[in-house]
Structure 1
């Protein structure tokens, strides 16, 4: 009797382990899909390099003090963790994965073996940094996750920069636009973008019929669709910043100076922008309700990024990164995250 019970017990254990193994294998190879309205990062952040991305009270970022490696921190800047050794740009995230463009070829220090053999590509990893998957090994840019697809510029030696789309499981690769345009948004199943080679109109590609149409005539750069407005830099008007209603009415000049980049806080309260005017160059913000502007710092800056609580931007000449409360006072601080690999080595030597 005891032998029979023992055999039944062993059989149950083996069956349970087998079921667990099957579930693990199924889950580990399975892609978890999103709701159709999922957005991986803000358009403004992607235009500025996608160095910061916020999802579920976590900020994923390119660490300027760690050669651009992918890090994660809580929204209050606590709990720093390294997720990847890649130089990570155009970062997007959903509830399950992080997506980014691998740009190890742009690092100053390219001597390590990892960089030498893993230069470029478009990557998906789990939230904890595990299980890397590559969509393509080609160089990419302006990666934007919308729903269950990623849209990006992909470079090909023979073709140059074209816009492609992939499903988030790596399937359904499709060439969308034969031009080096920057994906701006997917609205009502149409991909919106500003023209580059043939025109500077805001155009839309219907993602069902794959037909193109012009939405707004003009000379647009970096259009951002937010609430009821479209914000943009007007190339024909010396790179001044405008906004208009999405029906094309109420065109309003916001910044009457030449600007190289801008971004808008998640609340829609402030528009941050860089003025390019020689010795009068400076980074500013304008209150979008009152249209009153103020200068934050004199000088040249780039790569303006927003999260719920902060705005980050970098010195034009190096990776020094600054931060300001997104909707708070204009006081600027330095964002100085640790290089956890260096700290780990220091602890070993102590």
Structure 2
């Protein structure tokens, strides 16, 4: 009797082990797909380098204190953890993965081995920092995740810098546009972007027929579709910041001065922007409900990023990163995350 029970238990243990091993190998190589409407990061963040991205109460970011390595923290900036040693830019996230452009070639502490390969490219990694996957080995930028596709500029020695698309498993890579255009977003199965060489209109690319059309004619840069408006920089009007209705009507100047970058909080209440006018240079905030403006700091700043609770921006010389509450508080702090080992 005892021997029979022992055999049954041994059999059950073996079956359990085999099931666990089978599940591991199945999930290890399996790609978990997204809702088609998922957005991996805001277009405003991507325009500013994609150094912060948020999902499910977690912020994934490039830690300047650790030469740009990929980190995570809670949405209240607590519980900082190191995800991977790679220097990360253009970070996008979904429920399972982090997507980013590897920028190890730009590290300040680059070891300088001229024969080091794979210092750049587009990559996907599990949120626990494991199972890194190559989407493209070529240098990339402006990576944008929409649904189950990633859109990105990719440099090819023979063709130059063009816009490509791949599935999130790295398959079905396709050349979309023979221009170095920045993807502004995907809506209703259309990719929206501003022309780069042929024009500076806001254009669309139908993702079924792959035909191009002009959406709004003009001289635009960095359009952000938010709420009932399209925000943009007007290249014909000294890089001022403007907005218009979604159909292109009623263009309105919001910031009269020449600007270098901007971003909008997730609620659509505040516009943050950097004025670049020599001695008049400063970073400011505009309340889009009251149209009141406020100077945050004098000088030169860049890479404005927004999350649900915070706004981050950097000094032009990369010496400090500032943080303030996204709810309209004027209290500035320094974002100074620790340097950790993986």
CA contact (8 A) 1:311 1:326 kept: yes
CA contact (8 A) 2:51 2:61 kept: yes
| 2:288 aligned partner | 288
Q: Give the distance between the partners of 1:223 and 1:236, measured in 2 at CA.
A: 15
Instruction: Report how many aligned residue pairs link the two structures.
Output: 342
What's the TM-score, normalizing by structure 2? 0.97
| 1:38 aligned partner | 38
| 1:7 aligned partner | 7
CA contact (8 A) 1:38 1:94 kept: yes
Question: What's the CA shift for 1:112?
Answer: 7.1
- CA RMSD of superposed structures (Å): 1.5
Question: What's the CA shift for 1:75?
Answer: 0.8
Query: How do 1:130-279 residues align onto structure 2 when only pairs under 5 Å count?
Result: 130-279=130-279
Greater Cα shift, 127-136 or 110-119: 110-119
Query: How do 1:92-111 residues align onto structure 2 when only pairs under 5 Å count?
Result: 92-111=92-111
| 1:347 aligned partner | none
Greater Cα shift, 133-142 or 328-337: 328-337
What's the TM-score, normalizing by structure 1? 0.95
CA contact (8 A) 1:61 1:70 kept: yes
> What CA deviation, in whole Å up to 9, does each residue of 1:66-86 have, x standing for no partner?
100001011111101000101
CA contact (8 A) 1:296 1:331 kept: no
Q: Give the distance between the partners of 2:189 and 2:243, measured in 1 at CA.
A: 23
> What CA deviation, in whole Å up to 9, does each residue of 1:70-129 have, x standing for no partner?
010111111010001011000000111000000000112111779944410111111111
> What CA deviation, in whole Å up to 9, does each residue of 1:29-61 have, x standing for no partner?
111111111010000000000000111111111
Structure 1 residues 202 and 212, CA gap change in structure 2 (3 angstroms): same
CA contact (8 A) 2:270 2:328 kept: no
Secondary structure of the 1:100 match is strand
List runs of 5+ in structure 2 lacking aligned partners.
none
Q: Give the distance between the partners of 1:221 and 1:295, measured in 2 at CA.
A: 24
CA contact (8 A) 1:284 1:297 kept: yes
- Say whether residues 1:29 and 2:29 are aligned partners: yes
| 1:84 aligned partner | 84
Query: How do 1:294-313 residues align onto structure 2 when only pairs under 5 Å count?
Result: 294-313=294-313
Query: How do 1:102-121 residues align onto structure 2 when only pairs under 5 Å count?
Result: 102-111=102-111, 116-121=116-121
List runs of 5+ in structure 1 lacking aligned partners.
345-350
4+ long deviations beyond 2 Å: 1-9, 112-118
Query: How do 1:322-333 residues align onto structure 2 when only pairs under 5 Å count?
Result: 322-333=322-333
Secondary structure of the 1:65 match is helix
Question: What's the CA shift for 1:11?
Answer: 2.0
Structure 1 residues 307 and 90, CA gap change in structure 2 (3 angstroms): same
